[in-house]
Amino acid sequence: MTITQDELNEGGRTAFLATKATFLDAMAQLCDAAGADLKALSYALSLDARIGPMDIDHDAYDTADYHAFMAQLEAGGIPAGPLDFFRLMDHTATA
């Protein structure tokens, strides 16, 4: 694999934020279906130190950076499993 530690650090942060945003998108749909408050859920989740703050602002990461990281991984020969996971977390992708 041809990716540096610094590139993994930066891309990993972006990918983690994308994962959180995708999770919050799914939870927002559940909250809508259940008549629950996403802000209240976000606050309740943030009380767990293992989770930390849950920013419901979906612009918390740069989608261009995320897509660039994914392209770099594809070009660098990353194993299919992690790459498939990152594709699933790309809530900006169209079907």
Per-residue tens of pLDDT for the chain, all 95 residues: 678 899 889 988 888 888 888 888 889 999 999 999 999 998 999 899 998 887 776 556 788 888 888 888 888 777 788 888 888 877 665 44
**Which of 40, 10, 9, 42 lies closest to 23 in space, CA to CA?**
42
Torsion sign, CA atoms 82, 74, 62, 28: negative
What pLDDT, on a 0 to 100 scale, did the predictor assign at position 95? 45
Torsion sign, CA atoms 29, 35, 39, 43: negative
